[in-house]
Structure 1
């Protein structure tokens, strides 16, 4: 009886994971720039993208998986399951959209699936938080999961996840480059300032764990706002590099691109406790 209930619960979690994968990935699945990227991305860069995604997905499974887990083995299995869900969902939809066709080479089909599959896997792991409305007989988050999120390093990881959650959907578009190259240095600095202020305001509104220990606003900003923006900027630059947006671009313009993408990334980092 216990095994039956456990299997049923896992099946529900898996179905929810597919829903989260589709919900999170469909903007990318229907973005032409992502289709074209698969034919130009370097194999080494794609391999690194997949390698980096594995520990990141493991961390997401630990903090916010598509089901409640009870140990690192559970988290590792769910991270792999989410990757499988993401790849399956991405491949099926790309075939239905006519993006992956029999004329594609094996590498091109695999690259298209992998580039879309990793963001879909993130959506799969976030499905429990994004798609449920609270479980009967208990709070929205199990007590053990809440405790996992309380530490300072945990908060920084959640900020990273929130930044990537948003940045993935914006980075492939041409508009990021257009905004960056039509902005003056002063406008770029102003956008950086607005991003930091918005991040700080949202962090205080959401109420990150540990904030109450920092009665001094400056101290709180140094502990959460500044590291949070640095994380969002670094995540934005990495995603832009992975998607080939920084190739052949002068360092100053690369930084400008990063600041533009870090604006939505910072909002994602700030709202991490809601998104992730």
Structure 2
């Protein structure tokens, strides 16, 4: 018991409050940077007023395990346990709520004349992408400091880079970018302008761009195929499953935001393919930068 208390005390004393505060600041900056397009999108404001509350609740609940798993890879501090990941995920969610309320207030979207359910709906729907942005800010805005012994981020030692981890990061990227454009009217408009051949070409372009981003164009963070590995291996093992994930995320976003309401099956597929294009790019980018 005494040894346990000593270990606990030592852990608390070793906690770097200054570094954690910098992580919070980067998280808030990340929430603003990555979610700003959604903060300034009229369709997102309106969704907070009329979105089905059960769908909104489901989106908020789905975001919790996503943030926890993401925090295991890029938390505000060195994350080595699920408890710490839960802590960072909770902080990211809170930062997302604060950033959403802050921006919506200063641009005049929220007002004292609105009812509490309306205000909460508008903040809650924006808090999802903002909370993801808060964690992404740690990865993209973080800097090396005196605590870094080398060029390797300490968090990377604990993260799971296996096949499941790769697919998860693609899902995060697809969800984040898909949330940016799923609520817009343009998704519906583009789908009505497209023919079947346009849709097939868009599917092919999405898959080729995903594959090119990660394996062909030699971007920083890209993946090199091992010597002797056929080119189709990565296409079948990673790119195609990644695109299927992007389509599934797109379908979920469209359903959540009522964009499939009133559409027949063919048109719903067309809209999903349209949204699948930016979602696929987001999935590929996530593999590069996270």
- TM-score normalised by length of structure 1: 0.93
2:280 pairs with 1:273 = no
Q: 1:275 to 1:44 in 2, by over 3 A?
A: same
Worse-superposed segment, 59-68 or 132-141: 132-141
2:187 pairs with 1:176 = yes
Q: 1:240 to 1:213 in 2, by over 3 A?
A: farther
2:254 to 237, 240, 251: 240
| Secondary structure at 1:69 match in 2 | coil
1:30 to 40, 44, 53: 40
- 1:220 Cα shift? 1.7
**Distance of 2:110 and 2:171 partners within structure 1:** 31
Contact kept? 1:151, 1:209, Cα under 8 Å: no
Matches within 5 A, 1:110-259: 110-135=120-145, 137-142=148-153, 145-146=156-157, 148-204=159-215, 205-206=218-219, 211-212=225-226, 215-259=229-273
Q: 1:229 to 1:87 in 2, by over 3 A?
A: same
Structure 1 residue ranges without an equivalent (≥5)? none
- 1:248 Cα shift? 1.2
**Distance of 1:49 and 1:39 partners within structure 2:** 15
Bigger CA radius of gyration? 2
- TM-score normalised by length of structure 2: 0.89
- 1:141 Cα shift? 4.1
Contact kept? 2:203, 2:277, Cα under 8 Å: yes
- 1:275 Cα shift? 3.6
**Distance of 1:201 and 1:166 partners within structure 2:** 18
Q: List per-residue Cα deviations over 1:144-170 (Å, max 9, x = no partner).
A: 525624200000001111112211212
Number of residues paired by the alignment? 276
Worse-superposed segment, 198-207 or 124-133: 198-207
Query: Which position in structure 1 is the counterpart of 2:7?
Result: none
**Distance of 2:225 and 2:165 partners within structure 1:** 14
**Distance of 1:240 and 1:37 partners within structure 2:** 12
**Distance of 1:229 and 1:214 partners within structure 2:** 25
Contact kept? 1:192, 1:263, Cα under 8 Å: yes
2:114 pairs with 1:104 = yes
2:66 pairs with 1:53 = no
Structure 2 residue ranges without an equivalent (≥5)? 1-9
Q: 1:259 to 1:71 in 2, by over 3 A?
A: same
1:42 to 41, 49, 52: 52
**Distance of 1:169 and 1:159 partners within structure 2:** 16
**Distance of 1:46 and 1:190 partners within structure 2:** 33
- 1:176 Cα shift? 1.4
Worse-superposed segment, 216-225 or 143-152: 143-152
